[in-house]
Amino acid sequence: MMKSWSPASRREDLQKLFQGYASGRPALPARALLRFLHQEQMELEATEETAERLIGTYEVEEAARGSGSMTFDGFLRYMESREGCVFNRAHACVYQDMEQPLSSYFISSSHNTYLTGDQLVGESHLDAYVYALRKGCRCLEIDCWDGPDMEPVVYHGYTLTTKIRFRDVVATVEQHAFQTSAYPVILSLENHCSEEQQEVMAQHLISILGNKLLSAPLPQAAAGGLPSPNRKVQVAPVLSDLVIYTSSVKFVSFSHAKQHQSHCENSSVAEKKARRLLRASGADFVQHNQRFLSRIYPAGSRTSSSNYNPQEFWNVGAQLVALNFQSLGLPMDLNHGRFQDNGGCGYVLKPPVLRSSRSFDPGCSKHSHKPTNLLLKTTCPLCLCPKVISASNLPVPRGGKALDPLVRVEIHGTASDSQRRSTHAVKSNSLSPHWDVNMDFSLRVPELSLVRFCVRDQTGLFSSDFVGQYTLPFSSLKKGYRWVPLLSRDGCSLDPASLFVFVWHS
């Protein structure tokens, strides 16, 4: 990933940086480049070998390469490469411990995956499963009902949503399950079928998925089967014995779960009830999610397929925070930002604060910022200080006028950490708006936080329209002078549009 070109203002910003370390010379010696890496980019692990590698990679002038130095053109190429991106490229690969119990991970999860529209009359389509899997989703929901000619169907029961065949859903999953991620796909089966058609379901799973079915006990692997909340379903042995049958049990209380719930049972809880639980006892919810799987799903009142903010449930360690992937906006931006970490594999190891035996309540504002297994007595917050410098090549609507862009930097984390700051708007400048605005954020639990850069077009005194955004975990944020890629509302790249920022935190 290399930025295609920079406007004059971006080149001027980088030229000043370059000249500050070149000290009047036409090129940066390796030692000067190393000093820049240490002092500005805060890459303290960099060595002279690092500087020499960068020169060899990005410098195109033979004379400079031969003398072990970097011209401004080489410096520009380096700064606009993947190594200059605000997202830590080491996190673009799977780097976390993948041998922990399943309850130790956030898992990218979809609600009513088959739907492409609303929950009442929307279309059910196989493409919805393809879309979710390509977005890194690892937990798919399949609502199964008796269909004609002994063929189970998938749709949102008791509504006018269209129906698709269960066997076609399984075939689609088989074809696309591991194109984006090699890690397991959890099939959350909401089972409303008769025993006869459950046997048909089992036959399709065996014949289509074959040896891709897992046969290890939880938590190393999982397949889901959720009984209907509306009526008692007798589960056919051939289906329940097929792989791992992790039944969904009704959540009664945290103490009841400790005494009666098995590790192979999960609780599927609607967002409103889950919100009441976390507000009543966030610490108990965190501890519950250290032992058991919790699946949170949108309220039934969200008939338009809108989404809740997933961050509040990640804060208590809920693993399967299911969203309507077909609905664009902030919740899906956060979901994409959370799960681009760890190679985009759909599994992100929960931070130590959610896996520790020590009590943690995300609703309490007095926590240490240190990423450790223990909550220390100090309440000194971490200070995040981004500087929004400029942008380049912002997209303009067809036939539209130049934008009046502003940048909003948002923190999404615990309640006490969630906040936002904005720059002023720059009038009629889509190509190279310049802000040079310093911001500061105080974070007590940064390891749970997401940072969102959002560009908006000011349309009135108190109104603005979305232009592009980029969200990433605080833990994946690189320090120093960095460029920020921008994504459209549907998550597609807006390249060559980008922001130029300076990031520092203590």
Per residue in 92-137, pLDDT (tens digit) is 999 999 999 999 999 999 999 999 999 999 999 999 999 999 999 9
- What does the pLDDT average to over 275-299? 95
Total domains, the chain: 3
Catalytic residue ranges: 111, 156
Residue 216: the pLDDT is: 35
User: Which residue pairs, CB below 8 angstroms and at least 24 apart, start in 435-438?
Assistant: 435/388, 435/389, 435/390, 435/407, 436/387, 436/388, 436/389, 436/390, 437/387, 437/388, 437/407, 438/385, 438/387
More confidently predicted of 8 and 417: 417
Is 326 in contact with 292 (CB distance < 8 Å)?
Answer: no
Judge if 77 and 108 occupy the same domain. Answer: no
Q: Kindly report the CATH number assigned to the domain that includes residue 429.
A: 2.60.40.150
- Is residue 366, in this structure, part of any structural domain at all? no
Q: Which of 69-78, 81-90, 259-268 has the lowest mean pLDDT?
A: 259-268
CB atoms inside a 10 Å sphere around CB 26: 11
Q: Which of 242-256, 261-275, 319-333, 446-460 has the lowest mean pLDDT?
A: 242-256
Q: Which of 60-64, 92-96, 229-233, 325-329 has the lowest mean pLDDT?
A: 229-233
Domain boundary, last residue among 31, 54, 84: 84
Orientation of helix 30-39 relative to helix 48-58, angle to 10°: 110
Residue 237: the pLDDT is: 74
- What does the pLDDT average to over 159-170? 98
Instruction: Compute the distance between CA of residue 465 and CA of residue 459 in angstroms, rounded to an integer.
Output: 7
- Is residue 470, in this structure, part of any structural domain at all? yes
Structural tokens at position 137 = 């989703």
Residue 1: the pLDDT is: 54
Q: Tens digits of per-residue pLDDT, 303-312?
A: 999 999 999 9
- Is residue 134, in this structure, part of any structural domain at all? yes
Judge if 260 and 296 occupy the same domain. Answer: yes
Residue 233: the pLDDT is: 58
Judge if 347 and 395 occupy the same domain. Answer: no
- Is residue 437, in this structure, part of any structural domain at all? yes
- Is residue 364, in this structure, part of any structural domain at all? no
- Is residue 223, in this structure, part of any structural domain at all? yes
Whether pLDDT at 328 is above 70: yes
Q: Kindly report the CATH number assigned to the domain that includes residue 38.
A: 1.10.238.10
More confidently predicted of 140 and 240: 140
Whether pLDDT at 208 is above 60: yes
How sure is the predictor about 10, in pLDDT bands with cuts at 50, 70 and 90?
confident
Q: Kindly report the CATH number assigned to the domain that includes residue 286.
A: 3.20.20.190
Is 180 in contact with 137 (CB distance < 8 Å)?
Answer: no
How sure is the predictor about 228, in pLDDT bands with cuts at 50, 70 and 90?
very low
Whether pLDDT at 250 is above 60: yes
Omega into 496 within 30° of 0, i.e. cis? yes
Residue 229: the pLDDT is: 37
Q: Read off the pTM.
A: 0.91
Expressed as residue numbers, the domain containing 195 is 102-354
Residue 225: the pLDDT is: 40
Residue 242: the pLDDT is: 59
Cβ-count burial 220-231 (b if 16+ within 10 Å, e if not)? ebbbbbbbbeee
Judge if 211 and 255 occupy the same domain. Answer: yes
Residue 230: the pLDDT is: 42
Query: What share of the chain in percent tops pLDDT 70?
Result: 89
How sure is the predictor about 11, in pLDDT bands with cuts at 50, 70 and 90?
confident
Q: Tens digits of per-residue pLDDT, 362-392?
A: 998 665 545 444 343 346 899 999 999 999 9
Whether pLDDT at 263 is above 80: no
- Is residue 277, in this structure, part of any structural domain at all? yes
Judge if 109 and 173 occupy the same domain. Answer: yes
Judge if 397 and 340 occupy the same domain. Answer: no
Domain boundary, last residue among 328, 354, 380: 354
Judge if 324 and 222 occupy the same domain. Answer: yes
Whether pLDDT at 444 is above 50: yes
Measure the CA dihedral 191/196/198/200, to 10°. Answer: -140
Distances (CA, A) of 151 to 23, 158, 174, 232, 503: 75, 18, 18, 21, 56
Alpha-helical (H) ranges within 90-194 are: 126-134, 166-176
Helix (H, G, I), strand (E, B) or coil at 131: helix
Judge if 176 and 287 occupy the same domain. Answer: yes
- Kindly report the average pLDDT of the chain as a whole number: 90
Judge if 50 and 186 occupy the same domain. Answer: no
Ranked by mean pLDDT, which of 6-15, 244-253, 492-501 comes out on top?
492-501
More confidently predicted of 27 and 11: 27
DSSP structure string for 188-252: EEEE---HHHHHHHHHHIIIIIGGGS--SPTTS---EEEE-SSS--PPPHHHHTTS--EEB----
Instruction: Mark residue 9 as left, alpha or beta (left: phi above 0; alpha: psi -120 to 50; beta: remaining).
Output: alpha
- Is residue 143, in this structure, part of any structural domain at all? yes
Residue 380: the pLDDT is: 86
Instruction: Compute the distance between CA of residue 51 and CA of residue 49 in angstroms, rounded to an integer.
Output: 5
Domain boundary, last residue among 354, 383, 414: 354
Residue 373: the pLDDT is: 41
Judge if 201 and 296 occupy the same domain. Answer: yes
Whether pLDDT at 261 is above 60: yes
- What does the pLDDT average to over 168-185? 96
Judge if 212 and 313 occupy the same domain. Answer: yes
Judge if 147 and 255 occupy the same domain. Answer: yes
